[in-house]
């Protein structure tokens, strides 16, 4: 009943349990919800051994619920959605980092996301799906380019979607709307072309994809989150998120998932793992003045994991541009503490709320 009242008050749908994912339907847009994103990160290697990390994220933000796209004869300037997007490349060899943003309206078709298939675009940047025989698996094409930097990648899932949380929702707090519907492709074979600084490279590697949607997911007092996606060499993956209060403490709804080699997903409550900043190590941004954690230790006792995470490049902060949100999103090296530092994987870490509080 409380959730139903919330839906009427906000007019956008809220993520509630039970919810059964259905693919390929749920790869597409969910315009009944206020917020949605399709998020990609990956680790790529060129033929000469040069390594790159990348991020490409498409956001959909609903402005007015329930209003349909323009009908024939109506102004094409009408629109009820915004489509920001972020694109970044990390040059692991030379320690470089480049990023850019776009911010497109639905009006005039500048941005859009189909509700019946996986097809998203923000300006000329695009995500397109190609359904396979197994409806859970969908080959994807990513395209983005600006200023001598570009991606043209094909991504093939090696595992079915991993659904996070329980009952079809990923809990983000105690309030009725503090949840999302959230799944990931945790291991995607990746091939294509990356262009960096005007030079194009044929690349191969592995990517990660998140798709998440909900309405007003964060409770009052939450300033940001630390999010981890780790791809281990033993075939497992680990996703963790820690939601932070203003005093830096984590809320009990912080959680995660362990994905086994065969794709089975184990939900991890906040009590099932521990994330600490080793030695209080931080990096201070010369762009925003924000101080970010810069060396982590992750322990998941039930999975036998004791890991150390180190940024591939210190400065992987996205700042300014349309939307003005500053956050750190970067490639990290994953090593095993117990073995003295043996490399056991790669990952990406997202740190929000350090430059300024965020909201959804």
pLDDT in tens, 99-146: 999 999 988 789 999 999 999 999 999 999 997 777 788 899 999 999
pTM of the shown model = 0.93
**Position 324 confidence tier, pLDDT thresholds 50, 70, 90:** low
> CB under 8 Å, gap of 24 or more: what pairs does 129-135 form?
129/24, 129/27, 131/24, 134/160, 135/23, 135/24
| Confidence tier at 148 by pLDDT (50, 70, 90) | very high
Place of tokens 């694109």: 87
Q: What dihedral angle (degrees, nearest 10) is formed by the CA atoms of 326, 354, 39, 190?
A: 90
CATH 2.40.370.10 fits 2-351, yes or no: yes
Contacts of 124 (CB under 8 A, 6+ apart): 143, 144, 145
Q: Judge whether residue 9 has pLDDT over 60.
A: no
Instruction: Write the pLDDT tens digit of every residue in 227-255.
Output: 999 999 999 999 999 999 999 999 999 99
Give the tokens for residue 74. Answer: 């109506």
CB atoms within 10 A of CB 294: 22
The predicted pLDDT at position 322 comes to: 59
Q: Which residues pair with 77 in a beta bridge?
A: none
Using pLDDT thresholds of 50, 70 and 90, give the confidence band for residue 275.
Answer: very high
pLDDT at 321: 64
pLDDT tier at 5 (50, 70, 90 boundaries)?
very low
- Provide the residue ranges of all domains of the chain, joining segments of one domain with +: 2-351
**Is 163 a residue whose pLDDT tops 60?**
yes
Using one digit for the tens of pLDDT, what is the confidence trace for 42-92? Answer: 999 999 999 999 999 999 999 887 656 666 776 666 678 999 999 999 999
Residue 280 has a pLDDT of: 84
Cβ-based burial of 347 (10 A; exposed 0-12, middle 13-18, buried ≥19):
buried
pLDDT of 326 above 60: yes
What ranges make up the beta strands (E) of 118-252?
Answer: 119-122, 125-131, 138-146, 149-157, 162-163, 170-171, 179-196, 199-214, 222-232, 237-245
Closest to 288 measured CA to CA, from 249, 315, 322? 315
């Amino acid at each position: 009943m409380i959730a139903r009242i919330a839906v009427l008050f906000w007019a956008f749908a809220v993520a509630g349990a039970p919810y059964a994912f259905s693919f390929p339907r749920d790869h597409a847009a969910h315009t009944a919800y206020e917020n949605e994103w399709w998020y990609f990160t990956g680790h790529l290697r060129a033929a000469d051994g040069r390594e790159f990390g990348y991020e490409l994220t498409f956001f959909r933000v609903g402005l007015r619920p329930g209003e349909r796209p323009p009908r024939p004869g109506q102004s094409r300037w009408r629109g009820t959605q915004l489509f920001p997007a972020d694109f970044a490349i990390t040059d692991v060899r030379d320690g470089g980092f480049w990023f850019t943003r776009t911010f497109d309206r639905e009006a005039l078709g500048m941005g859009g996301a189909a509700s019946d298939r996986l097809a998203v675009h923000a300006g000329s940047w695009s995500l397109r799906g190609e359904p396979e025989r197994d409806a859970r698996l969908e080959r994807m094409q990513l395209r983005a380019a600006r200023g001598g930097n570009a991606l043209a990648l094909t991504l093939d899932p090696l595992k079915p979607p991993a659904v996070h949380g329980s009952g079809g929702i990923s809990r983000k707090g105690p309030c009725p709307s503090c949840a999302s519907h959230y799944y990931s492709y945790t291991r995607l074979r990746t091939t294509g072309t990356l262009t960096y600084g005007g030079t194009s490279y044929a690349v191969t590697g592995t990517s990660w994809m998140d798709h998440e949607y909900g309405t007003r997911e964060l409770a009052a007092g939450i300033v940001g989150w630390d999010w981890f996606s780790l791809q281990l060499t033993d075939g497992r993956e680990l996703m963790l998120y820690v939601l932070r209060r203003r005093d830096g403490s984590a809320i009990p709804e912080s959680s995660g998932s362990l994905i086994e080699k065969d794709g089975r997903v184990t939900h991890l409550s906040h009590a099932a793992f521990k994330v600490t900043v080793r030695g209080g190590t931080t990096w201070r941004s010369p762009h925003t003045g924000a101080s970010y954690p810069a060396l982590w230790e992750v322990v998941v006792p039930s999975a036998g994991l004791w890991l150390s995470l180190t940024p591939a490049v210190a400065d992987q902060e996205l700042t300014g541009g349309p939307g003005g949100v500053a956050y750190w999103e970067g490639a990290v090296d994953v090593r095993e503490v117990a073995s003295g530092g043996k490399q056991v994987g790669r990952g990406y870490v997202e740190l929000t709320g350090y430059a300024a509080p965020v909201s959804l």
